[in-house]
Structure 1
Amino acid sequence: MSSHLPLRGRTAVVTGAARGIGAQLARTLSARGARLALVGSEEAALERVAASLPGEADHWHADVTDADAMTRTARRVAERFGRVDAVVANAGVAAGGLFLDSDPGAWRRVIEVNLVGSAVTARAFLPALLVSRGYYLQIASLAALAPAPMMSAYCASKAGVESFAHALRTEVAHHGVRVGVAYLSWTDTDMARSAEQDSTLRELRARLPWPADRTYPVAPAVDRLASGIERRAHHIYAQPWLRAARLVRAALPTAGARHARRHLPALEPWASGTPTTLLGASAASGAGAGTGAGAG
């Protein structure tokens, strides 16, 4: 396949497609002519998204951390559509709170869904992508570039998926498969809105330097993701300023530590003793393995 992926008639798989970034990306790709395979753990919501799409679409209920379920799903997607041209590993969850007070189960779940789930997704669909010489897009985050306090599991998982995608790219490039990484800052999804309801996270975010202190609209971010998929891009920046952040990433942990030393002492008493919980409506419903990413 060439460096360009015309979407019309192509099959794109989106995990975490029930809401947020995943659902909006499904709508955008469908409007550009792609056939959509939606995967996630919120079956009723997936069905509604699939029914709303203007083009051909189907949905599969699966937990991205379940290797057997994802292998079956990949097989059924290939049977349903005949081929798989692009896979977007978007499913993700987040949890906020001090690591010392974090709930071990919630902390581990973030790593399992975001990092292990992405690897499980890639393993399940890579055989089909090798046949089509297709494209795998890993949704990462500003958190991969700039680790932040009170988001330790999310930052670790997003740094992990970024590194995983870069390593995978080196292994499959000679087969004609391209691998991309997408970076998002805080984007207006249920995950980000849930973080805003946490007083400590809200105050911490408000003290971040511009432009990281803003929450960005979904539609422009997703349009950039879709255009990057069409280009089979190595890197996609949902907010353009993230390109510069990636270029100066070596300085960001030090800058973040200085920022935390200034502001965290005042915020720590608010957060101390509050256990880490999963953020977002899908996490609250117990369906955390299929949520759309977008906290940033």
Structure 2
Amino acid sequence: MRDIFDVSGRRSATGAPLCGRVAVVTGAARGVGEALARRLSDAGMLVALLGREEETLRRAAASLPNPSICVEADVTDHTALEGAARQVENALGPASVVVANAGIAAGGPFIHTATDLWQRVVDVNLVGSANTARAFLPQLAHTRGYFLQIASTAAFGAAPMMSAYCASKAGAESFAQALRGEVEPDGITVGIAYLHWTGTDMIAGIDEHPVLQALRRHQPRFARRVHSPAQVADWLATGITERTHHIYAPPWLRWCQPLRPLFPAVVARITRRELRKRSRAELAADVEVLGAGGRADWNSYRSARP
């Protein structure tokens, strides 16, 4: 689907189809979310940055070239997101673009991962995306807008030691596919973005993660490349402008779609060899939340619990 934005959702004849419209990006404090907020602001959009790290969000919002706001909100809290949606509409106007980007990851054996940590990953990545859609769909119906679900190649082939992340990203992809058919009659387009190795703090310790390291080592050289958040944001912004159903970052990922039935067996074969090299005690010690953003969310969640 290659329609270009204008105020009614039809093809735009202008050279700046996003200019003056409102975008909402969750997980916007750092990484891809922050880079995409900047890229959309550069394109003339009014951007609302949503996330858990209020001070980091404020700094990111203050550095954008166009008017923006930041809202501290937990995407797993539906009431908080409803309030955020009202705040965005009152401050900037109804959203034309909503990007469900918020996500965290935890690595380690399923049996040794705390139940609440495993649940938290699924809640942020999957339930949080659904909550984001629920809160902003009325605005997107008004603007005939675009909802973008950030997925991952983790949905292509589930990796051991990453069960919550892979399950949640596969679920988020399925959610977006189901939602697409429901909201098309309202003029809303739903896109899914597939991200590969991206240079965020989530993969900063990849060399210490046995499964991720093995998977990357066995990929072709071009597939091992780590792309900067700014480059990924450029690909995402192009897809948003064109209202595409699928965005691939990097673009060559589109050719992997027909091969997806093969990936689970390939991933299992590679990781099986790697896991056999390590003792159960070593694997149990690898349970951790990946990245500064994930740790900030996890620490905030734990501190808020009674």
More displaced stretch, 259-268 vs 134-143? 259-268
Structure 1 length-normalised TM: 0.92
Taking only the aligned residue pairs, the percentage that are identical comes to 49
List aligned pairs for 1:50-61, cutoff 5 A.
50-61=61-72
Deviation at 1:3, TM superposition (A): 5.3
Q: In the aligned structure 1, how far is the partner of 2:114 from the partner of 2:83?
A: 32
Q: The residue matched to 1:245 in structure 2 has which SS?
A: helix
More displaced stretch, 18-27 vs 195-204? 195-204
Deviation at 1:251, TM superposition (A): 1.2
Q: 2:210 aligns with which of 188, 197, 200?
A: 200
CA-based RMSD: 2.0
Change (3 A) 1:288 1:16: farther
Structure 2 length-normalised TM: 0.89
Partner of 1:42: 53
The answer as to 2:244 corresponding to 1:233 is: yes
Partner of 2:195: 184
Partner of 2:20: 9
* Structure with greater contact order relative to length (CA < 8 Å, sep ≥ 6): 1
Q: Which amino acid aligns with 1:209?
A: Q
Q: 2:134 aligns with which of 123, 134, 138?
A: 123
Deviation at 1:261, TM superposition (A): 2.7
Q: In the aligned structure 2, how far is the partner of 1:116 from the partner of 1:146?
A: 21
Change (3 A) 1:91 1:97: same
* Alpha carbons 1:145, 1:252 under 8 Å: kept: yes
Deviation at 1:260, TM superposition (A): 2.2
Report the count of equivalent residues. Answer: 289
Q: In the aligned structure 2, how far is the partner of 1:282 from the partner of 1:40?
A: 10
Unmatched tracts of structure 1, length 5 or more = 291-296
Q: Which amino acid aligns with 1:198?
A: E
More displaced stretch, 25-34 vs 210-219? 210-219
Change (3 A) 1:268 1:178: farther
More displaced stretch, 281-290 vs 262-271? 281-290
Deviation at 1:184, TM superposition (A): 0.3
Partner of 1:260: 271
Q: Which amino acid aligns with 1:158?
A: K
Partner of 1:293: none
* Alpha carbons 1:40, 1:289 under 8 Å: kept: no
More displaced stretch, 96-105 vs 54-63? 96-105
Q: In the aligned structure 2, how far is the partner of 1:264 from the partner of 1:54?
A: 48
Q: In the aligned structure 1, how far is the partner of 2:118 from the partner of 2:218?
A: 23
Deviation at 1:14, TM superposition (A): 0.2
